[in-house]
Structure formats: C-alpha cells, structure tokens
Structure 1
Amino acid sequence: MKQLSSLFLVSLLSGATTLGAYKLFIEKDNRNSIVTTSTNSFGRTVGLNGEAIDFTAAAENAVHSVVHVKNVSVRTVYNPILEYFYGSRGGQQQEQVGTGSGVIISEDGYIVTNNHVIKDATELEVTLNNNKSYKAKLIGTDSKMDIALLKIDADEKLPYSTFADSDAVKVGEWVLAVGNPYNLNSTVTAGIVSAKARNLDTRGIQSFIQTDAAVNPGNSGGALVNTRGELVGINTMISSPTGSYAGYSFAVPSNITRKIIEDLMEYGNVQRGILGVEGGELNSKVSKEIGIEETEGFYVSSVSKNSGAEKAGLQKGDIIKKLDNQKINTFAELSGYINSKRPDDKVQVTFVRDGKTKVVPVTLVKKELFNTEFKGLELEDINSSDKKKYGIDYGVKIKDVTSDALKPYQNQLKGNIILKVDDQKATDVETISTFLNRKGEDKSISIQMINRMGQLSQVIIQ
C-alpha cells in the first residue's frame, strides 16, 4: 500500500511539472496565435498580436509629405428675375473655394494632386503639415488620368515621398491613406489592397488600385503608401451612394503617376504610347462564343494599321498573356501597364496562337497616330485646329470611308466630327474603340456628329 501511495505521488508530481512547463514555456508563446492545420499539412501560425505590424514609421514619413490644397475659383451667377425686369446685367462674380490634398514628391517643392482638385482654379494655396502656407503654380495636368503637377517655392528643403513600384503591390498588402478629409489635416487611415487594375469605366482611367482604407471628400490627391511609407498611389475617388466612404476607395497607381509627372516636367505634356491592338478579356462565356478553349488573357479582335503590334506580326485571334513580366488577364491590366510607358518604348509581348506560346518585341507608337476602323469608318482623334474651328473640346474625326456600302456617302461623311456613339461621349478614338468592341460588329449604332459646315446631324449605321 505504501509502495502504491509513493507511485501515485510520483505520478502526480510528474503531471504537475509537465503542466507547469507547458504553462510557462509553451502557452506563454502561443497565447497571441492561432495554429491552423489541414489534412494537406499546410498548417501555419497566424499572428494576431497588434505589435506584429507597426504603421507608426510609415505614418510619420507620410504625414509630413502630404499637404492641404486650397482651390479658389470664380464663377458668374445670373439672376433670371433681375434680367427679365432690367435686362442683362452681366451676372455677378462669386468666389468658390474647394479643398483637397497633395503629395510632395521632391525637396524643391513639386507636388502631385488630382486634376479635379485644382480644376478651374484662379488661385492655388498649399499648406504644409507644419502649417506654413505658399502660393502654388500649376505646372501641368492630365485630365484623362486625373493627375496634376504643382510647384511651390519654399524657404527650406521639404520632406517628400519616394515612389514604390505599384506593379509589385500585392492584393492583401497593408496600405495607409493619408490626406485631409473634411479639412481635417494629416489624417491617416489603414486598410489592405482589395484589388488591382480595377476598371470603373470612367473616362481614361482604367487601372485603379482598390483599397478598403477609409477615404472621404478632401482625401483626393492624397497619398496611398505601403508600410515602408513609399508612395504606391494617389487617392482619387470613392465608390459610395452617399458621397462618403462606404467600404472602397480607388487610387491611380504610382507607376502611372510617376510617368505622367515626368512627362509634364520634361515635355510639358503627356507622351502616350499605344500597343495597337483592340479586343477584350476572356472568360467562359466569351471563349465559348468565339470557339476557343482559353478562358484567361486578352483576346485580340483587330490590329491597328501602322501600329507596333502590326509591324511585330500580331494578328486577330492572338491571346495576349503577358507584357514583359506582367501577367495580363483583363483590359485594365493591359491598359494600366501601357499607360506607364512612352512612345518608342519596347514591350515584350507573350501571346498564344494556335495553341503555341510566342514572344515578340513590340515598339509602342504615339497615341496621336492611332486610328481605328469600325463598320467601314476609319476614325482618328481631332487636333487643336478642329477644336477651334468647331468650338468643341472633344470628338473623333472620320478620316476615311472603307466600306463599299457607305462609299456612295463618302463625301457627306469624310471629315465629319463624331460627338457621340449611342450614349457614349466620343472623347477620343481609344474610348470609342473600346466601346465599339464591347458592343460588337453585329449591332447597329447611332452616331451624333458635326458635318464640315458645322451642322449637327444624327445617322444610324447598321
């Protein structure tokens, strides 16, 4: 009995020692973790400790390089009642003030913001994080991509943001949005990259970075930075039925932004290059309709004349898989990558033809040389003299008529300026080309245009 009691005592002490060791050494290390396991042995430890990710260094860097932008504009307000009784009085001048954010990108005072933040400004004022204010000069804008470049002359070297490679940003990566929502200076919010190359069908911009970091009115033009404080995008818009943050916000990628501002500094305008292909992204439905097995990639429906793609031998039916090392599945991914390039840049295009993968170098050509053909009409962008002649700021010109069915009307159509195709505003050939390719060749289109006499007309082409 005595021997049995001793054995029980030893067992009890051994159990207590084991439990104590577990509590002291193992449970202490694992109390902030969840261990996930699977039948495939892919288990890993996921840290839940708030100290695992530290945003303070990134926030400290970013807040000092983000500024408040005040836009003062003047508009004329008319009073119809006074005009009715006293005749035209020329209207009353009324000052309007708008605000937004901007990001310092050089120590000598260059600042990038959104075009819509500074649009129609008669006076621009920039306030730094240290509350110093300066008058700003507008260097240039790109309304298509909603980017503007400002310059201030400060009396000191300024803190500035460095550019990250936005192509290397990953979905799920932590990011910070820094700006001045509702005139609240230096506000920092955190979130993750929700998606890349997001196409919202807005004019021009077709490759946003989407994030769930809170962005509100006033954040426009502010910085989207990674956890190292490097600039990955310029916050531009939100998706919301109320006009305030409702879960998603969108930024122009840093690679596109950097290319635009470098062009504005060097050339005074944006140098756009094009690949010279038209088409759309593949999925099960589209692939079934055109009779192919591939469900990923960009399907080439046509190749533009005299383009780099044509000279490199790309053909209708080719499926583009990669541009350089960038995987291409959607039009937004293709457009976003090309928008970070210039005319005469070479791009390695990986594509599939007849089940075989091929790679060819394609030299991008100037966008101004881009034209497209649809339903027998060859279209090109209008130039500054056309805009001045007809008093318009957008439109697409009918360069030639190639369809036998439309040849009898060649004299009436050639040289006309298209303003709308169906309900799509004809801002440029690229926009109209994308719209027409989505619509399809077999659908009739309604065209609103100005003829060479300046008269407005509308025709339907089957």
Structure 2
Amino acid sequence: MHMKSFIKTLGIAILGGAVVLGSYKLFIEEEPQQLTYQNTSLQEDIAPVQSVNYTEATTIGGVDFTQAAEKTVHAVVHVKNKTVTRVRPSFFDLSRGRVPYREAIGSGSGVIITEDGYIVTNNHVIENARELEVTLNNNKTYKAELIGTEPNSDIALLKIEADESLPYIVFGDSDQTKIGEWVLAVGNPFNLTSTVTAGIVSAKGRDLDTRDAVAQSFIQTDAAVNPGNSGGALVNTNGELVGINTAIASKTGSYVGYSFAVPSNNARKIINDIMEYGYVQKGMLGIKGGNLNGNIADELGIDESEGIVVAEVVEDSGAANAGLKEGDVITMIDNIKIKKFADLTGYVTSKNPGDKVVATVLSDGTIKDVTIELTKNNTVSIPTIDMDLRNLTKKDLKTYGVKQGVKIVRTIGELARYDMTDYIITKINDNTVSDIDDVQSILRNVDPNETLLIQMMNSNGEIERFRYTVD
C-alpha cells in the first residue's frame, strides 16, 4: 500500500500538540461504560452497611497507610456549590408571565495546595455557581472565590481567606507513578467528610471518551470513589498529590470498580497558568497521526508495535523544525514510553510553549533522539464566552478576505446549540480583535453580568452581531 494512501486510513486530526485517532480507534475498541462525574446534591440516600471488625494491621506488604492519610485528610475540603436553576413553569406561572427558579446545592471535594488558601477542584463541581462555600476538616467554613477554570481538563482553582496558615498537600510527580502502586483517594463521598479509601493504580494514560476530538489522559485506580469525591485528592503512600479524582465508570452512578483522576502534573501546569496568566497556555508538537499497532507495523515494515505514527507534520511547528516527517514513529518522550496517543497528550499538556522535549523516533529503520521545541497551540478554549477560538492562518486571511480576527472552532455551554463554526470574530465591544491574546485582554477587563457586543463574519462574508452576557 502506498504510504500516503495508507496514512489517510488513520482518520487523523490535530489535537493541541499530540495526536488523535478518529474513526479507526472507535472501530477497534469496545464501547466504554457510562462515565459519571461525582459531584452530588445535598440530599443523598445512604445505604446501610455491615460493621467490619479490623483484625489486620494498618500495613499491607509493609506499606503504612496511616501516615499518608494523616498528612492529607486535613488538607481536603468539602466544596458546596449554590446554584439557581430554571424549572418548568406551571400554567399559573405562564398566565402571569413568570419564570420560576429553584435554588440547588451541589457538593464535592477540593484540595488545599498552598498554606494561604488556594484550592484545586473539578470544574464540574463549581460549574454555574452563584455562591461557593468551603468547609475544612476542622468544620470551619469560608466563602470561596473562583480564580479560574480549564473546562477541557475539568480543573478549577478557588481561593479562601483564612486567618491562619492552612494544611496543604504537596504535588508529586504523576509521570513517575507506576501501575500497581498503592494510592489513597481522599474526599467527601455522599457528604461524608474526611473519607479515605485505598487502591492501586490500575492504568495510566486512559482516554475516557473515544468520541471526543480531544484525547484525554487519566490515571485509573480501583480505590473506591463515589459521588462527592470529585475534586478530591489521589495521593501516594508518601502523602504526595498524584491526581485529582474526577470520574467513575459506572452504570449506576456509584462506584463499581474503577475511577479516574487528572494527573497531578497536568493539574499543576493548569493551576500555574491560571495564577500567572489568567488562562491556560497550551503547547503542541505539531503533528497529525494515530496509534501504531501490529497491522500498521506490518504495513510500514517495522518491528515496533507500540507508539505514534506521524501522518503529517504541521508547517512551522516544532516537529517540522526538528525534521520529523510522514511515516516516522514516536516511541518515547523524555524517556517516557508512549504506547498510545493519550500518553503523548497527557505529557505534552503538562508542558508550556517554548519547553523542549526529547522524542525517541524510529525513522527509516533507524532509532534516534530528536529535540523538539513545543510551539503555541493556536486553539484556545475561552469559557468566559463559551467558545473555542483559533488564530487565523495565512490561508484563512486569504479565504475570508480579512486582515485580522479569530476563528470560532466550536461553541460550548449555552452557545452549543448555535452553529458558529468557522465564523470570524472581528470586534468585541468596538475593540478590534487581531488574535486570541486580544480576546483574552478584553475579557480580563469585563465585569460579571456585563453584556458584550460581538461582531462576526459568517462563511458567506456577511457581518453579524450578537450580544452575550458574561456569567
């Protein structure tokens, strides 16, 4: 089979600096179980459990869980999210032109990461919050401020103001976490505060949703995690943070065997970016491609059966500058084995534009180490206006006949029902928009509940305007 025609069968797509395998991956993998995100309402029925007599020691195979639990349980908090939701109006409401609302309270967990009160949690725990409240393990309660979010990775950063220094959990290196390693999940399942469960790391680089264009990379564990554990800590036996508990694979909504956590290296990178820039910087290698397997390896005439096949190299990217080409196979990044694209995605998303990584590449029958400088990913999620945006390429400028602007790649949240794909934003509140940095600069000076006037050009070259109220 000719190389170019073979590569096309991979169903390729660029993914923020890593790679994604589209329809091909869906064909070879079984349908995943339903994923349940674990924040729970304030009212929750709790099934009775049998009493347990503890006759064993607090160690298993010489591993002492008590020290790790003591180090971490005081730094995991209970997060309450007060929201107002619209309910279906009755005939009585309709006749009087009223729209009824109901206050709802959700709850989850959070992890204190600094002594002055910064807390990391899941985005879905605090989503649409009107008011956030944090309760510490000593029952002290504080109002929390939302500092920033990264919805694609389901990470959010909160801040509380306390009079004293707070206990906090130090970050571990999730890249060094090993399959089979003991871990503890610390959180507040079913509003039961300060709960610790133990398990092992079952898998790494797990991509939860094969239908999503964005490959994710989660740590899978069999530590018991239930609704309310979202945003809580996954720690190793040294009490170091190796993940933020996020989802469970379940058909019932409760734990049935496996749970998933955002790796701590990814969470730390997101948090640092939010604190320094107010948004998340994303770097990319600059390749398109897909997973290597035995059949593809035979077609390529190579002995390797695990890695990433490069199908296309993005112009002017770090990969292009490093000399990568179509048909190359990436097997390691910085001495970390790359078995599938989620491994690559997980590692690259923990880095910044400008960082350099060393890729081990099989090229023309020769294995070599190639240094690649990550370039800025031109697609950025802007949750403030419910859009994913991308800077215009030279081709876009020519196609649309514009001199500046940003392209809408996808609408999310409240705008998801509107098809604005490939629209070009040219102005926000009469401010000219040249690139994504302009958009972020404008939005940093926007107050909550402020209404924005957004001017766009559609695919027919027509100017449209719409108003959007910031939450």
Superposition TM-score, scaled by structure 1 size: 0.71
Distance 1:185 1:383 in 2: 33
Please point out which of 179, 202, 218 is paired with 1:194: 202
Asked if 1:294 is matched to 2:304, the reply is: yes
| C-alpha deviation, 1:94, in angstroms | 1.7
**What are the residue-to-residue correspondences of 1:56-455 with 2, within 5 Å?**
56-79=66-89, 81-82=91-92, 85-86=95-96, 88-89=97-98, 91-201=99-209, 204=214, 206-368=216-378, 381=379, 393-394=387-388, 451-453=460-462
Distance 1:111 1:394 in 2: 26
SS of residue in 2 equivalent to 1:56: helix
Any conservation in 2 of the 1:179–1:222 contact (CA below 8 Å)? Answer: yes
SS of residue in 1 equivalent to 2:105: strand
SS of residue in 1 equivalent to 2:330: strand
Please point out which of 65, 69, 91 is paired with 1:55: 65
| C-alpha deviation, 1:394, in angstroms | 4.1
Distance 1:189 1:203 in 2: 33
Distance 1:383 1:178 in 2: 30
Distance 1:133 1:348 in 2: 46
* Distance change >3 Å, CA 349–CA 272, structure 1 → 2: same
* Distance change >3 Å, CA 153–CA 203, structure 1 → 2: farther
The amino acid across from 1:57 in the alignment is: Q
1:85-139 CA distances to partner (integer Å, 9 max, x unpaired)? 44x32x1232111100000001111100001000111111100000000011111
* Distance change >3 Å, CA 58–CA 382, structure 1 → 2: closer
Distance 2:421 2:155 in 1: 18
Which segments of 5 or more consecutive residues in structure 1 lack a partner in the other structure?
1-46, 369-380, 430-448, 456-462
SS of residue in 1 equivalent to 2:92: helix
SS of residue in 2 equivalent to 1:175: strand
Number of equivalences: 362
Any conservation in 1 of the 2:302–2:365 contact (CA below 8 Å)? Answer: no
SS of residue in 1 equivalent to 2:320: helix
1:141-170 CA distances to partner (integer Å, 9 max, x unpaired)? 111111011111111111110111111110
Identity across aligned pairs (percent)? 57
* Distance change >3 Å, CA 290–CA 426, structure 1 → 2: farther
SS of residue in 2 equivalent to 1:144: helix
* Distance change >3 Å, CA 426–CA 52, structure 1 → 2: farther
Distance 1:48 1:64 in 2: 19
* Distance change >3 Å, CA 351–CA 258, structure 1 → 2: same
Any conservation in 1 of the 2:381–2:389 contact (CA below 8 Å)? Answer: no
Any conservation in 2 of the 1:144–1:205 contact (CA below 8 Å)? Answer: no
Distance 1:81 1:399 in 2: 53
| C-alpha deviation, 1:418, in angstroms | 6.2
Distance 1:337 1:359 in 2: 17
Superposition TM-score, scaled by structure 2 size: 0.70
Distance 1:137 1:218 in 2: 20
The amino acid across from 1:347 in the alignment is: V
Distance 1:49 1:254 in 2: 25
Distance 2:198 2:386 in 1: 43
Distance 1:54 1:383 in 2: 42
SS of residue in 2 equivalent to 1:141: strand
SS of residue in 2 equivalent to 1:266: helix
The amino acid across from 2:173 in the alignment is: D
* Distance change >3 Å, CA 419–CA 150, structure 1 → 2: closer
1:403-456 CA distances to partner (integer Å, 9 max, x unpaired)? xxxx9xx679xx986659xxxx99999xxxxxxxxxxxxxxxxxxx9654489x
1:184-230 CA distances to partner (integer Å, 9 max, x unpaired)? 00011000000011111257461100000000000000000001111
Any conservation in 2 of the 1:106–1:158 contact (CA below 8 Å)? Answer: yes
The amino acid across from 1:262 in the alignment is: N
CA RMSD of superposed structures (Å): 3.3
* Distance change >3 Å, CA 84–CA 289, structure 1 → 2: farther
Distance 2:463 2:291 in 1: 38
* Distance change >3 Å, CA 171–CA 366, structure 1 → 2: same
| C-alpha deviation, 1:75, in angstroms | 2.1
Distance 1:309 1:228 in 2: 37
| C-alpha deviation, 1:338, in angstroms | 0.4
1:383-414 CA distances to partner (integer Å, 9 max, x unpaired)? 97xx99xx863477996779xxxx9xx679xx
| C-alpha deviation, 1:291, in angstroms | 4.9
The amino acid across from 1:191 in the alignment is: G
Any conservation in 1 of the 2:409–2:421 contact (CA below 8 Å)? Answer: no
Which segments of 5 or more consecutive residues in structure 2 lack a partner in the other structure?
1-56, 412-417, 423-457, 465-471
Any conservation in 1 of the 2:83–2:128 contact (CA below 8 Å)? Answer: yes
The amino acid across from 1:82 in the alignment is: F
| C-alpha deviation, 1:295, in angstroms | 1.2
Distance 1:252 1:428 in 2: 29
SS of residue in 1 equivalent to 2:152: coil
Distance 1:200 1:326 in 2: 21
| C-alpha deviation, 1:285, in angstroms | 2.4
